[in-house]
Structure 1
Amino acid sequence: MTAADLYAVLTLRLLVFVVEQTCPYPELDGRDLLPDTVHVWWQPDTEPLAYLRVLGAPGTVRRVGRVCTAATARGTGLGSKLMAAALDIVGPDESVLDAQLPAQALYAKFGYVPEGEPFDEDGILHIRMRRPGQSLTATSV
Structure 2
Amino acid sequence: MPSEAPQAPRQSRPTMPSEIAWQWSRFADLTPHALYAALRVRSEVFVVEQHCAFLDIDGADQEAWHLLGWVERGGAKALAAYLRLLQPGCRFAEASIGRVLTAAGFRGTGAGRAVMREGVRKSSEFYPQHGIRIGAQRYLESFYADFGFRPASEPYLEDGIAHIQMLRPADAIR
TM-score relative to the length of structure 2: 0.71
Partner of residue 138, structure 1: none
Instruction: Provide the aligned length of Structure 1 versus Structure 2.
Output: 132
Does 2:53 align with 1:24?
A: yes
Q: Say if 1:57 and 1:120 are closer, same or farther in 2 by CA, change over 3 A.
A: closer
Aligned position for 2:122: 89
Quick check: 89-98 or 18-27, which moved more? 89-98
Identity %: 40
Which position in structure 2 is the counterpart of 1:52? 83
> Letter of the aligned partner of 1:56 in structure 2?
Q
Q: Greater CA radius of gyration, 1 or 2?
A: 2
**Among residues 62, 67, 91, which one is paired with 2:100 in the alignment?**
67
Partner AA of 1:48 in structure 2? L
Which consecutive residues of structure 2, in runs of 5 or more, have no partner in the other structure? 1-29
Counterpart CA distance in 2 for 1:31 and 1:47 is: 24
Contact 1:56 1:62 (8 Å CA) reproduced = yes
**Aligned match for 1:10, one of 25, 39, 45:** 39
1:116 aligns with 2:145: no
What is the TM-score when the length of structure 1 is the normalising length?
0.87
Counterparts in 2 of 1:57 and 1:100: CA distance versus 1, 3 Å? closer
Match of 1:139 in 2: none
Q: Which runs of 4+ in 1 moved over 4 A?
A: none
> What is the distance in 2 between the residues matched to 1:66 and 1:102?
15
